[in-house]
Amino acid sequence: MSDFSEFDMGEASASPDKLAGLHALLERAIGLEEAVAQIEDDLKAAKTQLHTIKSTLIPDTMTELQMEEIKFRGWAVKINDFVSGSLPKDAERRVAALRWLEDNDASGLIKTEVKLAFGKSQHNEALSLAAALESDGHAPTIESGVHAQTLLAFARQRIKDGDPIDCDVLGLYVGKVANMKRTDK
C-alpha cells in the first residue's frame, strides 16, 4: 500500500474540516488496529499459559497429592484423561497404524476411499462410473483411513477398558487435563 501524503488524492481541494475529520478517524482506526493486535497477542499468550497449567502443572501436582478432584474458590476441578491426534500423514507410518488396528480387532474402524478427478465436461461419466475405472484409462487414488473422532473414541474406550494401545503408532497423544467448572454462579 502507498503512504499517502497530505496532497495525494485531491486532499488539497478538500475542506480543511473534512480533512481534519478524516485524519482524526484514521488516527482512531490506527490506534484501534494496534490495540486489537496487542490484545490478540496477549490473549494468545494467556491461552498458552492456561493450557500448560491445565494440561501439565495442575494434573502433575494433583497426581503427586493423590487427588483427582478439588473444590477451590467456587470452582470444581477434576482431572480427566484426554486423547488427541489422528492417523499419521506419512505413508509408511499410516500403513503401520492401519496394520496395528487390523491386528487389534479394530479393522471395522477403517474406511477406504476411492478418489478420481474428472473435468467439468465429464460430469455424467463420473456419475455413471462403476467397476471399469482402470479399463477406461483413469487412475483412481485409493486411500484407507479412520475418521479422527472415531479414532479418538476408540482410543478413549481402550484406555478406559485397560486394553493395550500403541499411541505412537496411531499418532495419538494421551495425557491428563484439569477440567474446571465454576460452581458458585
Residues 6-56 pLDDT 10s: 545 555 567 889 999 999 999 999 999 999 999 999 999 999 999 999 999
Cβ density class 47-85: b for 16+ within 10 Å, e for less: eeeeeeebeeebbeebeeeeeeeeeeeeeebebeeebee
User: Hey, what amino acid is at 99?
Assistant: R
CA distance 86 to 113: 17
Q: What is the pLDDT of residue 37?
A: 98
Q: Name, in order, each residue with C-beta under 8 angstroms of 183's C-beta and a sequence gap of 6 or more.
A: 71, 74, 75, 76
**111-135 tens-digit pLDDT:** 988 777 777 787 777 666 655 666 7
Read off φ and ψ for residue 178, nearest 5 degrees: -90, 110
CA distance 170 to 172: 6
Q: What is the pLDDT of residue 7?
A: 47
Nearest to 97 by CA among 142, 154, 140, 141: 154
**72-126 tens-digit pLDDT:** 999 999 999 889 999 999 999 999 999 999 999 999 999 988 777 777 787 777 6
Alpha helix ranges (H) inside the chain? 16-52, 58-64, 91-103, 123-128, 148-161, 167-170
Q: What is the pLDDT of residue 169?
A: 95
Cell reading at 185? 454462579
Are 79 and 69 contacting, i.e. CB atoms less than 8 angstroms apart?
yes
